[in-house]
C-alpha cells in the first residue's frame, strides 16, 4: 500500500465519509479482479472508471488499456484526488467531475467505443437521486454488450438492488483480501 495515498484517502474519508465510502484504498487483489472483469479489449476501445480516488484500481486498468491501445477515462469528484490521478497516469483522461456527467465527459461520438464502466463509487452511501442519475447516465453511454462493473462491501447485496433498467447481471465474485472484504458484480448492456 502507498502510505501517503492511504493517509490522503483517510483524511478525505474523515471529511466526507458518505462520499468517500471507504477508510482506505482498494487492495491490489480487488483492483485486479475489477480489471479482469473488463473482458476483451481492442484498439480504440474506451474504459471509464468512476470514483478513481488515488488510483488503486486505476493502477490495474492503466496498463491494461495501454497494452490494448484503449483509452482510459477517470472520473473523480474530489479535486485533490483528481490531481493525484493526473500526476500518476499521464496518458489517462482525468475528469474532475461528478459521475452522472459521464455522457458529457466522454462525448456522444465516443459512446459506441465504450467497452466498460468500472465503478468504485460508494453507491450504498451516496444520495439515492444521485445514484439513479449515475446509473441512468451509465446505461445511456454503454453500447449493447458493454460492461458495468461495481464493487461493494455489502457481501449480501442483491445485484437487482442497484436498479438498472437495461443491464443483465453476468456474475459475482468475492475478494477476501481487501479491507473490508468485497464483492464484484459484472453487468452487460442488453441488446
Ligand atoms: C470507495 S472510494 C474508491 C477509490 C478508489 N477507486 C479505490 O478503489 O481505492 C470512492 C471514490 O468515489 C469518489 N466519488 C464519490 N462520489 C462521486 C461522484 N459523484 N462522482 C465522481 N467521484 C465520486 C470519492 O471521492 C472517492 O474517491
The tens digit of pLDDT for each residue in 156-169 reads: 988 888 889 999 99
Domain span including residue 37: 27-189
Mutational test site, ligand 1, from 120, 126, 128, max ligand atoms within 8 Å of CB: 120
Instruction: Give how many domains the chain has, as a whole number.
Output: 1
Q: What is the pLDDT of residue 130?
A: 97
Mean pLDDT of 84-96: 98
Q: Say how far apart CA 165 and CA 177 lie, in whole Å.
A: 32
C-alpha closest to that of 153 among 125, 131, 187, 118: 125
Q: For residue 5, is it within any domain?
A: no
pLDDT of 66-85, one tens digit each?
999 999 999 999 999 999 99
Q: For residue 48, is it within any domain?
A: yes
Question: Average pLDDT of the chain?
Answer: 95
Q: What grid cell was written down for 2?
A: 502507498
Nearest CA to ligand 1 atom 18: 98
**Residue 190 pLDDT class (50, 70, 90 cuts):** very high
Q: For residue 22, is it within any domain?
A: no
CATH number for the domain spanning 129: value is 3.40.50.150
Q: What is the pLDDT of residue 160?
A: 87
Q: Is 133 exposed, middle or buried (0-12, 13-18, 19+ CB in 10 A)?
A: middle
Residue 143 C-alpha to ligand 1 middle, in angstroms? 24
Q: For residue 21, is it within any domain?
A: no
Q: What is the pLDDT of residue 158?
A: 87
149 and 114 in contact (C-beta within 8 Å)?
Answer: no
pLDDT at 134 over 90: yes
Q: In the structure, which protein residues have their CB atom closer than 6 angstroms to any atom of ligand 1?
A: 19-22, 25-26, 50-53, 56-57, 75-78, 81, 98-99, 120-122, 126
pLDDT at 22 over 90: no
Q: For residue 182, is it within any domain?
A: yes
Q: For residue 74, is it within any domain?
A: yes
pLDDT at 17 over 80: yes
Amino acid at each position: 500500500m502507498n502510505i501517503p495515498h492511504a493517509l490522503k484517502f483517510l483524511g478525505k474519508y474523515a471529511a466526507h465519509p458518505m462520499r468517500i465510502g471507504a477508510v482506505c484504498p482498494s487492495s491490489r487483489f480487488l483492483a485486479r479482479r475489477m480489471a479482469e472483469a473488463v473482458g476483451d479489449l481492442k484498439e480504440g476501445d474506451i474504459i471509464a472508471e468512476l470514483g478513481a480516488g488515488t488510483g488503486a484500481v486505476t493502477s490495474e486498468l492503466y496498463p491494461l488499456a495501454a497494452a490494448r491501445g484503449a483509452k482510459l477515462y477517470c472520473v473523480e469528484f474530489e479535486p485533490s484526488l483528481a490531481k493525484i490521478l493526473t500526476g500518476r497516469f499521464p496518458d489517462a483522461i482525468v475528469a474532475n467531475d461528478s459521475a452522472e456527467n459521464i455522457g458529457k465527459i466522454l462525448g456522444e461520438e465516443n459512446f459506441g467505443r465504450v467497452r466498460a464502466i468500472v465503478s468504485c463509487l460508494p453507491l450504498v452511501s451516496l444520495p439515492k437521486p444521485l445514484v439513479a442519475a449515475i446509473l441512468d447516465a451509465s446505461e445511456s453511454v454503454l453500447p449493447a454488450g458493454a460492461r458495468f462493473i461495481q464493487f461493494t462491501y455489502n457481501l449480501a447485496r442483491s445485484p437487482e438492488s442497484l436498479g438498472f433498467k437495461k443491464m443483465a447481471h453476468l456474475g459475482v465474485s468475492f475478494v477476501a483480501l481487501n479491507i473490508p472484504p468485497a464483492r464484484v458484480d459484472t453487468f452487460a448492456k442488453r441488446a
